Structure 1
Amino acid sequence: MSMSDPTRSPGAETPDPVGDVLDADRLQAELLEETRPPHAGPISQVAAAVVALAAGAAGVLGSLALGLGRLTQPGPGLWPFAISVVIVVLSATLVVTGRGLEDTERFSKSSLLTAIAVVTLVALAALLPLIGFEIPSLLLVFVWLRWLGRESWRSSIVISIVTVAAFYVLFVVLLQIPLPRLI
């Protein structure tokens, strides 16, 4: 706008798009700092990396027990082995570099949600060979949606049923994977 613009009121400031962007960035940074939990410290960072390293090592051993097969005929343990090796490498890197990082959070009430999620996954793994994948998967998705995601009862029920039905069609019908199942 020029100074002689008739629609401009006298004494009005010229808009500063750069300043507005900087103000928005500053405000967003302040909001993130207010909601971010406090840092747990370097010991927690390294401890979390060691736990992930142990889980990766257990995955390597479990996948070797399943059998890796050959490249032309991969065994059931090949992909779990590859993923477990990546977990081990990344966790070992975090063990070495973890003391300088500041991205771990102190345990809080919201940390319980993560613990509940892990417990439900372990329950799924335990129930899968006993009663098939349909009921444990349905319960897992429902619990995650309703109590961890705080979805409504209706959407939790509908999404859980649709998800398990989609998995059934994909893995059992289309891919013909021999999952333990009731149906």
Structure 2
Amino acid sequence: MYTVLGGQYLVSQKGELGNSKIEVYGPKLDLLFTYNPPNGTVTYIDEAAWIINNGDILIRMNLPKTGNRLIALNPKGKTLWGRNIAGNASVQSLGQNYVVYENGEMSLYGSKGLILKKAIELSDPMQVVLKTSDNKILVYSEDWKTILSPTTLEPLYQIPYDEQLLKYYYVGEGYLYAVSDAYQLFQYRLEQK
């Protein structure tokens, strides 16, 4: 299992699940470092790894004694810090920063720790937090997709979630494309909330 992160390859599951190692390769496929999580740790590198702080690597792991945890590694493989998170938490990198949504709150973190915490109710059972093409935050609720500011966590735009007549695609900088069943393409400029 592998993923490409900002020009670095992370290869995982070298060995049995719960006893794997993570190898990080550079852009020329040269091995930069190998990280050996504690025995019994489970991670799925293709779903749970991000680049933050211009090159640090953030990995979500489930450790046997502490549970779900975020681990930050520098480009040489040194562990910078670890942070416990809820098992149902959603994590997303925003470039320099990252967000964690858990227990009805979204927390924005930077390299020095917590920047902002805000209560946000996501009615979607999966509670997924996604990054848009313009580095904003996309979350789902029952009737809307909401684009949040990556610095204030305030809503910027709302997009209808009902896609029976049109499929909606947020393409960044406040623009929305809609495609009809007849394959007609429409472009809209969203008004900021």
Q: TM-score when scaled to structure 1?
A: 0.22
Higher relative contact order (CA 8 A, sep 6+): 1
Bigger Rg, structure 1 or 2: 1
Judging by fraction of residues, say which structure has more helix.
1
TM-score, L = length of structure 2: 0.21
Higher strand fraction (1 or 2):
2
